[in-house]
Amino acid sequence: MKSTLGIKHNWRNSPEEWLDEKRKHDGAEGLWRIHNGLYDLSDFISRHPGGKFWLQATEGMDVTEAFESHHISLKPDKLLPKYFVRKATTPRNSPFTFLEDGFYRTFKRKVRKVLVNVPVESAMKTNVMVDGMFAGAILVGVLAAIHGTFILAIVAGLILGVCTVAAHSYYHRKDNFRMYYNDIALLPSRSWRIIHVLSHHGYTNSVADLQSYGFDPFVQVYPCQKSTIYKALSILTPLTWPTFIPLIYFSRFNNWKTFVKNFTTVDLLPLVLPILFCVVSKQSVSTKLLIWAVMIAVSSFWFMMVGLVTNHINPDIFVDGDKPRSPHKVDWGTYQLDAVGDKTGVVNTHFLGLISFGDHGLHHLLPTLDHGAFQHLYPVFWETLKEFNLFLRVMRKRDMWVGYFDQLRRETPNPNPPNLATYGVNL
Ligand code: HEM
């Protein structure tokens, strides 16, 4: 599909192929590109305070969006000139700008000031909630395995699903043990840091968003020709959600060589639950494995339902193919507001927002931040939105659900640029 944002990217389904595809178009000449500068960060990889992964995985590509959105302090900007090699010779393969007086950088300047006074207790609260959910899922799962009770497996799967949504935000930060909770639930941190962090957060709803196109043919989000059968059956796609997480997980083995090349002990974490169930339970091996499969399927259903339906897929939310604000130049933060929907009831809440991808606008703008910090940031958020005559799109959950299925059937691109005033909140 041709990008109306002007981004070149062919749909490549595995995370590693996504990286390779991006390397082809970014003009980074084997180095790291940030805006129009090329940098050699080889010596910095092992010293990067955010962990090795980010720079190791992105060698040879443009990392402007990830660099800008994953740092709030100015320390990285100050360090960068040390690694400058030369100017890039081709234009960036991205329409996104980060101008000093644009919405995004203006907002981040204000955020820096507020963050100084955010109490550390709010992050600690989040950690306790996520740890509690994880422990609860394991405990109920173990009980299900011991007694061979499938109702308990479903409950364990639901708690695990809620936990994976909450724990997903740990992927965005420096390496930390909580991001591995999701590895145990079959959401490998390496793959999801590519699918979700680098691809989806950097290029939300565009043709370069692997999270948007990766579920095709089941979830067809872009406005283009769709078969009559698909349009008729799209209402049934939720039936496929329990399989998505296992399918993504097992698809890693399609490219055995790449899997072996990137293998680390973290890749053994998905075995934790089946091994634990085998150790603690005297039920037959097939019952224990079935309990585990039910738990993962329910967790997959929950993660997909909350992740797919309720934030990005809706005719009122911009998706590549629609008319953008401007095809060649749009502030990255403004674009995020165009491509994100928030939900009533989970804006400016801590626990509910955490478990349901709530406060989604703020999460997209400041992905490394703990959910508990958001309540302190809303005042400057509203203030900056007003300053730029922008709005946060907040939709009723019912409209999100109806819109999700409308979007799966939608073939006609929206001819008007995004209008945040519809559903928009700007207090
Ligand atoms: C793909 C590009 C990059 C990504 C995705 C990335 C990601 C991150 C993340 C996730 C953190 C931890 C943030 C947190 O947990 O609060 C971090 C910290 C940091 N990164 Fe990067 N980084 C990238 C490139 C760079 C580059 C090129 C530099 C500088 C040459 C750099 C310098 C730093 C510094 C100094 C910190 C600590 C920030 C602080 O203490 O305020 N990063 N980075």
**Among 67, 100, 133, residue at a domain's last position:** 100
Domain match, 326 and 306 both? no
**CA 63 – ligand 1 centroid, Å:** 11
The answer to whether 188 and 252 are in contact (CB under 8 A) is yes
Q: How many domains does one find in the chain?
A: 3
Q: Which of 46, 54, 61, 71 to mutate to test the pocket of ligand 1 (most atoms within 8 A of CB)?
A: 71
Helix axes 285-304 and 150-167, enclosed angle (nearest 10): 40
CA nearest ligand 1 atom 14, residue = 173
Segment 98-122 mean pLDDT: 96
For the segment 52-89, what is each residue's pLDDT rounded down to a tens digit? 999 999 999 999 999 999 999 999 999 999 999 999 99
How much is the pLDDT for 182?
96
How much is the pLDDT for 129?
97
**CA 76 – ligand 1 centroid, Å:** 6
**CA 172 – ligand 1 centroid, Å:** 10
86: helix, strand or coil: strand
**Cis peptide leading into residue 217 (ω within 30°):** yes
Residue 398 has pLDDT above 80, yes or no: yes
**CA 415 – ligand 1 centroid, Å:** 38
- Token pair in block for residue 253: 């083995």
Query: What pTM value is reported for the model?
Result: 0.95
39: helix, strand or coil: strand
ipTM confidence: 0.95
Domain match, 51 and 190 both? no
Domain match, 180 and 258 both? yes
Residue 107 belongs to a domain = no
Residue 221 has pLDDT above 60, yes or no: yes
The answer to whether 330 and 214 are in contact (CB under 8 A) is no
Closest CA to 221 of 208, 205, 232: 205
Domain match, 356 and 416 both? yes
Burial of residue 405 (CB within 10 Å: 0-12, 13-18, 19+) is middle
Mean pLDDT for all residues in the chain: 94
pLDDT grade for 197, boundaries at 50, 70 and 90? very high
What CATH number does the domain containing 24 carry? 3.10.120.10
Q: Which residue has the higher pLDDT, 327 or 51?
A: 51
**CA 111 – ligand 1 centroid, Å:** 17
For the segment 288-297, what is each residue's pLDDT rounded down to a tens digit? 999 999 999 9
H or E element, residue 132: helix 120-147
Q: How far apart are CA 4 and CA 335, in angstroms?
A: 13
Closest CA to 193 of 3, 11, 368, 373: 368
Residue 299 has pLDDT above 80, yes or no: yes
**Among 310, 330, 352, residue at a domain's last position:** 310
The answer to whether 118 and 378 are in contact (CB under 8 A) is no
How much is the pLDDT for 242?
96
Exposure pattern of 218-247 as b/e (b: 16+ CB <10 Å)? bbbbbbeebeeeeeeebeebbebbbbbbbe
Domain match, 152 and 293 both? yes
Q: How far apart are CA 214 and CA 319, in angstroms?
A: 15
CA nearest ligand 1 atom 43, residue = 50
Domain match, 290 and 392 both? no
Domain match, 209 and 296 both? yes
Domain match, 181 and 290 both? yes
Residue 2 belongs to a domain = no
The answer to whether 366 and 111 are in contact (CB under 8 A) is yes
Domain match, 95 and 179 both? no
CA nearest ligand 1 atom 24, residue = 67
For the segment 111-154, what is each residue's pLDDT rounded down to a tens digit? 999 999 999 999 999 999 999 999 999 999 999 999 999 999 99
Q: What is the largest CA-CA distance in the chain?
A: 65
Residue 49 has pLDDT above 90, yes or no: yes
Residue 106 belongs to a domain = no
Q: Which residue has the higher pLDDT, 133 or 256?
A: 133
The answer to whether 19 and 57 are in contact (CB under 8 A) is yes
Domain hosting 394: range is 114-118+319-425
Residue 105 belongs to a domain = no
Domain match, 150 and 282 both? yes
Q: How far apart are CA 352 and CA 255, in angstroms?
A: 38
Backbone Cα Rg of the chain: 21
Q: Which atom of ligand 1 is nearest to the CA of 63?
A: 1
Q: How far apart are CA 164 and CA 161, in angstroms?
A: 5
> Side by side, which strands form the sheet with 37-39?
32-34, 37-39, 84-87
Q: Which atom of ligand 1 is nearest to the CA of 83?
A: 30
Q: How far apart are CA 424 and CA 390, in angstroms?
A: 8
- Token pair in block for residue 130: 């996520």
**CA 47 – ligand 1 centroid, Å:** 10
Give the count of alpha carbons within 13 A of 254, CB side only: 11
Residue 335 belongs to a domain = yes
**CA 73 – ligand 1 centroid, Å:** 9
The answer to whether 341 and 242 are in contact (CB under 8 A) is no
How much is the pLDDT for 254?
80
Residue 146 belongs to a domain = yes
Q: How far apart are CA 171 and CA 189, in angstroms?
A: 7
Domain match, 277 and 349 both? no
Residue 222 belongs to a domain = yes
How much is the pLDDT for 290?
97
Ligand 1 binding pocket (C-beta < 6 A) is 41, 44, 48-50, 54, 58, 63, 66-67, 70-71, 73, 75-76, 79-80, 83, 173-174, 368
Q: Which of 26, 59, 70, 108 to mutate to test the pocket of ligand 1 (most atoms within 8 A of CB)?
A: 70
φ, ψ of residue 96 to 5 degrees: the values are -85, 135
pLDDT grade for 426, boundaries at 50, 70 and 90? low
pLDDT grade for 407, boundaries at 50, 70 and 90? very high
Exposure pattern of 370-391 as b/e (b: 16+ CB <10 Å)? bbbbbbbbbebbeebbeebebb
Helix axes 272-280 and 285-304, enclosed angle (nearest 10): 140
How much is the pLDDT for 427?
56
Residue 421 has pLDDT above 90, yes or no: no
Domain match, 254 and 373 both? no
**CA 50 – ligand 1 centroid, Å:** 5
Residue 305 has pLDDT above 80, yes or no: yes
